[in-house]
Amino acid sequence: MLNKGWDEFEIGAMLRSFDGPTSNIATTLQEDRPYSQSNSFTASVADWRIEKPVFNKDYCIDCQFCWIYCPDMSIISRDKKMIGVDMDHCKGCGICVEVCPTNPKSLLMFQEKEDEDTVLAAWPEKEDKEK
């Protein structure tokens, strides 16, 4: 299907999100879903990113602000805990960093090429609030 030319497309097309039967998607987590090849979950927009968010779980308070405001379903939360960023679908908009309430922030933006362990080691210290 993916290799069709422009003049071979069907005029009215139906795409299936899943391969095989699914009973209740609303309560099935992403890792348990039988995604089909035509679901955009199997695609990646990682090359859109200029900066990437890096998650430091030492400072995270699991408030889930990043989860609710992420426009790309890229914050992975399981059992009320934030466990990481989905780097296949993150477009690097930076909303998660803006809404992070901790001090210092537990999510920060870095250049795509930077090494994650190095930036985690040099994480900024707690800033004093201006009075």
Partner 1 sequence: MSEIKKIKNLKEFSTSADRFEGANLLCPGCAHSIIVREILNATNDDLILSSSTGCLEVCTAVYPYTSWDASWIHIGFENSSTAIAGAEAMHKALKAKGRLKQDRDPKFVAFGGDGASYDIGFQWISGCFERGHDMMYVVLDNEVYANTGGQRSSSTPIGSSATTSPAGRVSYGEKMNKKDMLSIMAAHGSPYVAQVAPNKWKNMIKAVQQGLNIEGPTFINAMSACTTEWKFDPADTVAISDLATDSLVFPLYEIIDGKELNITYRPKNIVPVEEYLAAQGRFKHLFKDQYKYLIKEWQERVDSNWEYLQRREEARV
Tell me the C-alpha distance between 52 and 102, whole Å.
Answer: 19
CB under 8 A: which stretch of 14-22, 100-108, 113-121, 123-131 binds partner 1? 14-22
Q: Give yes or no for residue 103 binding partner 1 (CB under 8 A).
A: no
Q: Give yes or no for residue 87 binding partner 1 (CB under 8 A).
A: no
Radius of gyration of the chain (CA): 19
Sequence-distant (≥ 6) Cβ neighbours of residue 105 within 8 angstroms: 59, 97
Q: Give yes or no for residue 17 binding partner 1 (CB under 8 A).
A: yes
The number of residues that bind partner 1 (CB under 8 A) is 54
- Could you say which of 19, 30, 57, 84 contacts partner 1 (CB under 8 A)? 30
Q: Give yes or no for residue 111 binding partner 1 (CB under 8 A).
A: no
The angle at the Cα of 56, spanning 126 to 88, to the nearest 5 degrees, equals 140
